[in-house]
Copies of this chain bind each other. A is one copy, B any other.
Amino acid sequence: MTAHHPRSASLRFGANYVPSAGWFYSWLDFSSDAARRDFADLAGAGLDHVRVFPIWPWIQPNRTLIRERGIENLLALIDAAAEFGLSVAVDLLQGHLSSFDFLPSWVLTWHRRSLFTDPAVREGIAEYVSRLTHAVATRDNVFAVTLGNEVNNLWPDSPTTPEASTRWAAELIDVARAAAPRLLVLHSLYDAAWYDPAHPFHPADAAGLGDLTTVHSWVFNGVSAIDGPLGPATTTHADYLVELAAAAAADPERPVWLQEVGAPRPDIEVGDAAPFTRRMLDTVAQNPALWGVTWWCSHDLDRGLADFPEREYDLGLFTVEHEAKPAAKELAAFIGEQRAGRTVPASRPALVCDVDPGTQPERRAELAPGGAFHAEWVRLRQTGPLAIVTAARAADPGHLAARGIDTLLKPV
């Protein structure tokens, strides 16, 4: 399984690819040339990868119909990325993107069935996962598939239970691995999985299923209300989530991918985007568990498109006219500095956490931003890198050594 433990001395940097023209609707009028123009922006900023998002119902409009041309367009996008030296992670089941759910008619209204629990729907999704994974694995620059973007946003519209959510993801990960043994296979959840005690997707899924843990750090989840835009809670939240993910994993070597992070307005206004980006990156890059950072997103959203949450329009590294924005310039500068070599402290202290997110999902609220544990971690993090370790694993010297933990601190 070494191939599945891609911890390395150098961090990966990329962008979640949002087409500058026509958002993801552009799949319906796919143009390799438009993608090339966008990828030129990203390669120019020094990024090494993109995360891309096919739209599920347009590729699988009927449960037993997977459109060849839909797959061909996805492969053409991947090939265009290769021309710019970009490797590609493919999210399969969209599913959820920027507040919109794309769902096929075969799970809607008169055919309403849960994506997570209906056997026929799961069979259809498994076929989709298998076919797409097999197809994208034919391209050397593809390194990962993720089951889908933040699939927990598809609940509550699709009912599920914690057990059903786990089984669903575990089965599909097996399907993807069978289709493409060489790829990383990943699960993706937004952070309610880490913080909401009633949420039917558990930290154990995030930290145990697939080949590495992905986290999505969005400061509008509550941290920016604490001290944003440049306060310590706000700028360390990405590092906090990576640490929580590392603490929840049984495997101390399991990498964590900061698969989404961005500078959303109005939490972080334009003038604060560059310093936020710098502080956030400086902090999280010291985390030995970190595999890479993928910015959300590559390009702004045309304001001619309606109904998006206001924050979604300005999240790009680049404008729709391909101009680099302040976060892009700061990210590019940071990437340049990292080329000289990543500096991770040889060891660091850890704050012992009374809650094990992997085994005590009912206690997740105790880990959420604003709580006592988070506040204490943020306070101590200001003096240097700080791990999180569960009380049980704090007694395991092998675990501590593997994670570079030299001192145990208890919350007051």
Could you tell me the distance between the alpha carbons of A305 and B105 in the complex, rounded to whole angstroms? 13
B61 touches A28 (CB 8 A): yes
Q: Is A271 engaged at the interface, CB distance under 8 Å to the other chain? A: no
Contact A306 to B108, CB < 8 A, known contacts A29-B69, A62-B23: no
What are the residues of chain B within 8 A of A109 when measuring CB–CB?
A: 101, 103, 154, 157
Known: A99-B110, A120-B307. 13 other contacts (CB 8 A): A22-B65, A28-B69, A28-B70, A29-B67, A62-B306, A64-B305, A65-B305, A101-B109, A101-B110, A103-B109, A106-B306, A109-B157, A124-B306
Q: Is A111 engaged at the interface, CB distance under 8 Å to the other chain? A: yes
B65 touches A111 (CB 8 A): no
Q: Is A58 engaged at the interface, CB distance under 8 Å to the other chain? A: yes
B100 touches A111 (CB 8 A): yes
Contacts A/B (CB < 8 Å), 14 sampled: A25-B65, A28-B28, A28-B58, A28-B61, A28-B69, A62-B305, A63-B306, A65-B304, A65-B305, A100-B108, A100-B110, A103-B109, A106-B306, A120-B306
- Chain B residue nearest to A27 (CB atoms) is B61
Could you tell me the distance between the alpha carbons of A154 and B307 in the complex, rounded to whole angstroms? 21
What are the residues of chain B within 8 A of A124 when measuring CB–CB?
A: 306
Q: Is A220 engaged at the interface, CB distance under 8 Å to the other chain? A: no
**Contact residues of A between 60 and 76, Cβ < 8 Å to B:** 61-65, 67, 69-70
Contact A61 to B25, CB < 8 A, known contacts A100-B111, A101-B109, A109-B157: yes
What are the residues of chain B within 8 A of A313 when measuring CB–CB?
A: none
What are the residues of chain B within 8 A of A61 when measuring CB–CB?
A: 25, 28
For chain A, give the interface size range. Answer: 20 to 34
Residues of A within 8 A of B (CB): 22-23, 25, 28-29, 58, 61-65, 67, 69-70, 99-103, 105-106, 108-111, 120, 124, 153-154, 157, 304-307
- Chain B residue nearest to A61 (CB atoms) is B25
What are the residues of chain B within 8 A of A102 when measuring CB–CB?
A: 105
Chain B nearest CB: distance from A124 CB in Å? 8
Chain B nearest CB: distance from A73 CB in Å? 11
B108 touches A101 (CB 8 A): yes
- Chain B residue nearest to A97 (CB atoms) is B105
What are the residues of chain B within 8 A of A153 when measuring CB–CB?
A: 110
Chain B nearest CB: distance from A94 CB in Å? 10
What are the residues of chain B within 8 A of A23 when measuring CB–CB?
A: 62
Among A23, A102, A124, which residue has the most Cβ atoms of chain B within 10 A? A102
What are the residues of chain B within 8 A of A154 when measuring CB–CB?
A: 109
B111 touches A307 (CB 8 A): yes
What are the residues of chain B within 8 A of A103 when measuring CB–CB?
A: 105, 108-109
Chain B nearest CB: distance from A157 CB in Å? 4
What are the residues of chain B within 8 A of A64 when measuring CB–CB?
A: 304-306
Contact A101 to B105, CB < 8 A, known contacts A65-B25, A304-B64: yes
6 smallest A-B Cβ distances: which pairs?
A100-B105, A64-B306, A101-B109, A63-B306, A25-B61, A109-B157
